[in-house]
Amino acid sequence: MKDDVTREDRIGALGGMGCERKRVEDARFTQGQGNYLDDVKLPGMLFGDFVRSPYAHARIKSINTDAAMAIDGVIAVLTAEDLAPLNLHWMPTLAGDKQMVLADGKVLFQGQEVAFVVAEDRYIAADAVELVEVDYEEMPVITDPYEALTSDVVLREDLDPKADGAHGPRDHHNHIFKWEVGDETATNQVMDDAEVVAEETMYYHRTHPCPLETCGSVASMDKVNGKLTLWGTFQAPHVVRTVASLLSGIEEHNIRVIAPDIGGGFGNKVGVYPGYVCSIVASIVTGKPVKWVEDRMENLMSTAFARDYWMKGKISATKDGKITGLHCHVTADHGAFDACADPSKYPAGFMNICTGSYDIPTAYLGVDGVYTNKAPGGVSYRCSFRVTEAVYFIERMIEVLAIELDMDPAELRMKNFISKEQFPYQAPLGWEYDSGDYHTAWEKALETVDYKGLRAEQAQRIEDFKAGKTRKLMGIGLTFFTEIVGAGPVKNCDILGMGMFDSCEIRIHPTGSAIARLGTISQGQGHATTFAQILATEIGLPSDSITIEEGDTDTAPYGLGTYGSRSTPVAGAATALAGRKIRAKAQMIAAYLLEVHDDDVEFDVDRFVVKGAPEKFKTMKEIAYAAYNQAIPGVEPGLEAVSYYDPPNMTYPFGAYVCVMDIDVDTGVPEIRRFYALDDCGTRINPMIIEGQVHGGLTEALAVALGQEIAYDKLGNVKTGTLMDFFLPTAWEVPNYETDYTVTPSPHHPIGAKGVGESPHVGGVPCFSNAVHDAFKAFGLRQSHMPHDHWRIWKTANDLGLHD
């Protein structure tokens, strides 16, 4: 056969790894043909809606549903009493605690689910919610975790105050756990002996992932066949199936969970919420499909807050800036139930990555989890488990140490980076960093932004400000971060006992196209596009001929889902390895067809060629056909493979960010003049999608650093429960970002990829925050808590006497 296309042409035709493939998802989304949860419509479907508590802490004396039930079209009103016989009035949380599905005797946070109304349409359900009469007796409210630890008020009366929690002994009835890593005695000793010690306390405020689509589910119980189908906004559909089975007693093969298109997740859709359980129960009770969709206020008030960490730090160094030790203590406000979505053995997630990108020989981390009268959650909002908190902590501590040492913060970082030769690097708090080249990335960043020039400009600006020539200050925000993603090795990572592997199953069709199914689920990351690219390169069939399917537990292999940037590191690896199994079989088929020994053929882009005779080859398309129509001795017909991948380690993406900001001291308005983001996520699968992820993550970082928060008053009222008060930046507030990269592949990942979706958020938050701090540094500012909204920035300026 004559072949006059070049090898480059053949590579190009595959649309494989590294190319800017346009997204296959976009055709349906741009034409309004996405299929999101609220688009699911079934015959006879009913609607559920919650009666929620207006109080943050109250005893429930009675619930009267008569008036609600009297409305035409109301089918049922469920309360804890109805769920108790099924043992579904409480449910286990992902963190080893339990949570009320419907209020059992008392409520513990504002917005808590009290009763579930089921009606023929959403209007009738909403009418009925208004008519359910609940008699509350108010109780003292605690919203401050420090107060909770000394208060006589018992929040969780259901727990034996003396009994251990899921993570060991509890010191107080409002205490959840104590988690300690590292050597505290040695760390204290280092602090005592140090030439310089900087101390600081910072509050990483409570916020919320707030994807544009809220959470919801549709449950349909087919009583004839005993099968339950559950559609939902699930970042981990397979885990939901297992939990649903354990809770309901329905055998797992009789439950089908489907995660349709998801309108953004960012951590919000990892957990299991009372609405899911209630829709299932309501469908079982009524025999009809039941839909539940939360509205935006319910979303902000009740599902999945993030952060809420009080972090106290001490960092020690020599006089010339070599860091010798780090001490961190966190008081973690988990709200009314411990519903954090962390791997079971890590009650504070991977907070123990808080030594950051620096070679710190001795460190200690202690975390105390605390109950308060706030919503449960503690999810990883666009980050791997608590990594944003860890990176914020160390990147602020570095800045504070730089002040203490009177040293340039860029230089201080450079001086303490883990060097390239030290990888794999054993960190003092337990992780083994896989690969990195921090010095190169940092130099590239500082050079690109002309760091020296910026500092000179800033010095001039300070002069001008002091001389009354300008009212704007200039801040230069720096951050160097190391993420830890891709949870994770089954030996130390599980959720509810399920090891955090992931999976891919591939079927090659006779005509040379394919379908691959994965245990993950896209929420906008473009898996259907990028996973096909990985496969195209691995199996030599064009990405355009490969369908990627996720989210249906009846068809997809078991996987732990998409969060913590784990899809590429874990499922991406499974995809590559399943592809290699396909290739191994294809090799046998090719050898048979070419009448040579298996070892005499080799893979080349889209074909197997006879070694030393490239004109003799069989394309993968030909091989696929042969797999189905030839009787090959010793080879089963068909061409399929499945791979379950248990990663040997996490991956450690890193990056160098610089933000230049002008701040009007009289209005408190910050203006981002420049934002430079260098990311190293290892092997790059689709640069266009990586850039998109970076833009999005940075914008969510801007939101969190500069205004977004879930705030409570002393009575436990949510003060930021609508988009009027909860800051989501618009196109008007967001700058253009400059993106850049270096490539340091992960040595243990089959294709060297590390994951990127969350890096920009993790690195972005401290970068924006450091820019605000830096602007006021010359006037004596050391630490001010986020979010740096206009009022707080103005207040900072005012406190520093800049308005006098």
Active centre residues (catalytic): 235, 382-383, 758
430 binds, among another protein, ligand FES, none (CB under 5 to 8 A by kind): none
Q: Where are the alpha helices (DSSP H) in 595-716?
A: 620-629, 687-706
Question: Cα–Cα distance between 335 and 208 in angstroms, integer?
Answer: 13
Q: Does 700 bind another protein (CB under 8 A)?
A: yes
Among 9, 26, 147, 447, binds another protein (CB under 8 A): 26
Query: Which is nearer to another protein, 34 or 92 (by Cβ)?
Result: 34
Residues at the interface with ligand FES (CB under 6 A): 212, 264, 524
CB of 659 to another protein, least distance (A): 14
Residue 85 identity: P
Q: Where are the alpha helices (DSSP H) in 15-55?
A: 26-30
Give the 3-state secondary structure of residue 524: coil
CB of 590 to ligand FES, least distance (A): 42
CB atoms under 10 Å from CB of 161, counted, come to: 12
CB of 41 to ligand FES, least distance (A): 18
Only segment of 37-45, 92-100, 364-372, 708-716 that touches another protein (CB under 8 A) = 37-45
The closest alpha carbon to 401, from 513, 508, 465, 319, belongs to 319
- When CB distances to ligand FES are compared, the closest residue is 212
Cβ-contact 449, 421 below 8 angstroms: no
Q: Give me the count of residues in the chain.
A: 804
120 binds, among another protein, ligand FES, none (CB under 5 to 8 A by kind): none
CB of 212 to ligand FES, least distance (A): 4
Question: Cα–Cα distance between 601 and 514 in angstroms, integer?
Answer: 23
CB of 743 to another protein, least distance (A): 21
- Give 485's strand partners: 651
The closest alpha carbon to 726, from 712, 743, 715, 714, belongs to 712
Among 120, 183, 199, 295, binds another protein (CB under 8 A): 295
CB of 696 to ligand FES, least distance (A): 8
Query: Which is nearer to ligand FES, 264 or 561 (by Cβ)?
Result: 264
Q: Where are the alpha helices (DSSP H) in 375-498?
A: 387-405, 409-416, 438-448, 451-466
CB of 733 to another protein, least distance (A): 8
Using a 10 angstrom Cβ sphere, with 0-12 exposed, 13-18 middle and 19 or more buried, the burial of residue 802 is middle
Among 296, 420, 439, 509, binds another protein (CB under 8 A): 296
Query: Which is nearer to another protein, 258 or 577 (by Cβ)?
Result: 258
Q: Per-residue x/- mask for another protein, residues 517 to 546, rule CB under 8 A?
A: ------xxxx--------------------
Residue 5 identity: V
Question: Cα–Cα distance between 674 and 311 in angstroms, integer?
Answer: 29
Question: Cα–Cα distance between 755 and 483 in angstroms, integer?
Answer: 10
Cβ-contact 208, 198 below 8 angstroms: no
Only segment of 36-44, 556-564, 616-624, 659-667 that touches another protein (CB under 8 A) = 36-44
36 binds, among another protein, ligand FES, none (CB under 5 to 8 A by kind): another protein
Q: Which of residues 84-123 bind another protein (CB under 8 A)?
A: 121-123
Question: Residues touching another protein: how many (CB under 8 A)?
Answer: 58
Q: Does 39 bind another protein (CB under 8 A)?
A: yes
Residue 344 identity: S
Q: Does 569 bind another protein (CB under 8 A)?
A: no
Among 7, 28, 611, 719, binds another protein (CB under 8 A): 28
DSSP annotation of 780 reads T
Query: Which is nearer to another protein, 723 or 743 (by Cβ)?
Result: 723
Taken in order 426, 427, 431, 436, the sign of the CA dihedral is negative
Among 69, 734, 778, 802, binds another protein (CB under 8 A): 734
Question: Cα–Cα distance between 45 and 43 in angstroms, integer?
Answer: 5
